[in-house]
Amino acid sequence: MSRLTRALSSSRRRFSATTSSEKDRLARNKWDALVIGGGHNGLTAAAYLARSGLSVAVLERRHLVGGAAVTEEIVPGFKFSRCSYLQSLLRPSVIRDLELERHGLKLYRREPSSFTPCLDGKSLLLGPDKDLNQSEIAKFSKKDAIAYPRYEMQLEKFCKFMDFIIDSPPPEVVHDLPSLTDKMKDKVRKSVFWSHCLQHVYALGHKDMVDFMDLVLSPASKVLNNWFEGEVLKATLATDSVIGTMGTAHTPGSGYVLLHHVMGETNGERGIWSYVEGGMGSVSSAISKAALEAGVHIMTNAEVKQLLVDENTKEAKGVVLADGTEVHSSVVLSNATAHRTFVELVPHNTLSDDFLLSIRNLDYSSATTKINMAVDRLPNFKCCRNKSAEGGPEHVGTIHIGSESMEEIDVAYKDVVSGIPSRRPIIEMTIPSILDKTISPPGQHVVNLFVQYTPYKLSEGSWRDPVVRESFARRCFSLIDEYAPGFSASIIGYDMLTPLDLEKEFGLTGGNIFHGAMGLDSLFLMRPTKGWSGYRTPLKGLYLCGSGAHPGGGVMGAPGRNAASVVIADLNRS
């Protein structure tokens, strides 16, 4: 009888522990699986494991679960999605399997989805309405208006091709399989994967496959220049290729990042991003409810200090909390970054020097700052005639500030290379309260600014200096004032998270929102590092389940779901 089968009959209790007595109860059990970190991927993995009959506990360092997908009331009366702020990438299989709608997940479809104001009085609205897109793009270029539907159709084809890759564990070499039968089964599994992959390639066709390779390998600027002539349209689309990265639209491989951000969907409609009622914390809340219903124990204020490793067998056997409490388990899944997992949590002299060197050389550079604001009124853009206090179509989607050309994006990037925050930052502004009335007082609003580019370490000064922080925040507000005069005067309060803050507050190494760069050398069989892409690690019994593993960053749930499937398969073999 397998360990997994035996676990089906085990009794399961649920609790959210912060007291010493509850920690004692946690420590008395021998768990089938422990999950380090209650981010959305960790919760997803835990839910799938528990639904398979395993006893599972989640250990979260902060006072609430969700990781970077959280809602917090920083300014009284205003609920901020402090880090992640839009939903689209969460895998349909996760929403369906965990019944997240039943557990409270409610999405607000954004239409239009994008607005780019220009200082010359023009503007560009884009969204799912094809007629709107054609008329708006035609204001700049009739040729682009004709090309845009074909561009969208091609990206949708590529997204369908990627679905299979995203939802599958990579066909990685499995180390130390116990028997010849297991080795044969592993070979069959890999053969099935590549067979399915080739079927998708064949269905895509030769021309589209070449175009796909051109997209993922090329700079986004090359791709967009081949499709379009209008600078405003190209810059609006190019922002998806640089968001969260230390790169520009001219960086090779930025075309893949562009594709990554249109892979998602809302209610079956591809590429549509939505607001979540109650903020992004509601995504994590829904997953945690599904996990609790399956029997998972979720413990907050439970920081993991170190992994417990059997000195003789070199197997993970649990964790040690910051207060010294030992919690034992058969396997451990880490939702932390690869760097934090292997360099900080695994005891020294446990992993090989070569493996640790590959982890230390991972790219965690970040250029992202998130500013969450409470305002007493909506911004009025000079290029819009609508002055209604209730808002107009320009307030519904992502508002692109300071990105009227790809050259502007490149200039902003060059500042950060010199160690200084962009003098004219690239800002993606969203106003979720325009659709979600639960997160702000009547007539007032929550505004999110996703800002690039800001270095992790400044060449002069420090992010710990309040004067430096205030100066950069005011720079962002002043830039918005150029497009929407009086915006600065509407601010009631704000919360700013620089790359350094993102690392300190949310455990994002280097402040990188993806748990590591999404470059071509850090994807699929190379994520997090060559030879270890299949969620397993060199330490037996330790698995990665966060965004640092395949298929990467964003609120996807795919790493957690895929990792859980690998753990279940391994436990069935034992």
Which of 64, 41, 54 shows the shortest CA–CA distance to 505?
Answer: 64
**At 421, which amino acid appears?**
P
What angle separates helix 130-138 from helix 142-166, to the nearest 10 degrees? Answer: 130
Sign of dihedral through CA atoms 69, 70, 75, 79?
Answer: positive
Predicted local confidence at residue 264, as pLDDT: 82
Find where tokens 């901020």 sit.
80
Ranges of residues in the chain whose predicted pLDDT is under 50: 1-15, 17
Give the tokens for residue 37.
């970190």
Return d(Cα 220, Cα 225) in angstroms, integer.
8
569: number of CA atoms within 13 Å, CB side? 17
Predicted local confidence at residue 389, as pLDDT: 79
What angle separates helix 558-573 from helix 40-51, to the nearest 10 degrees? Answer: 40
Predicted local confidence at residue 223, as pLDDT: 95
Predicted local confidence at residue 268, as pLDDT: 81
Predicted local confidence at residue 12, as pLDDT: 37
429: number of CA atoms within 13 Å, CB side? 31
Return d(Cα 233, Cα 227) in angstroms, integer.
10
Predicted local confidence at residue 28, as pLDDT: 84
Which of 567, 543, 65 shows the shortest CA–CA distance to 345?
Answer: 543
Predicted local confidence at residue 7, as pLDDT: 39
Find where tokens 């990467």 sit.
552
Predicted local confidence at residue 8, as pLDDT: 36
Please name each of the domains of the chain with its CATH number.
3-69+282-362+526-573 (3.50.50.60), 151-269 (no CATH)
**At 5, which amino acid appears?**
T
Predicted local confidence at residue 534, as pLDDT: 95
Give the tokens for residue 331.
């396997």
Taking only the tens place, the pLDDT of each residue in 54-66 is: 999 999 999 999 9
Give the tokens for residue 7.
């676990």
Predicted local confidence at residue 6, as pLDDT: 39
Sign of dihedral through CA atoms 198, 199, 205, 211?
Answer: negative
Predicted local confidence at residue 400, as pLDDT: 98
Predicted local confidence at residue 16, as pLDDT: 52
pTM: predicted TM-score of the whole model, two decimal places: 0.94
Predicted local confidence at residue 262, as pLDDT: 82
**At 317, which amino acid appears?**
K
Predicted local confidence at residue 5, as pLDDT: 42
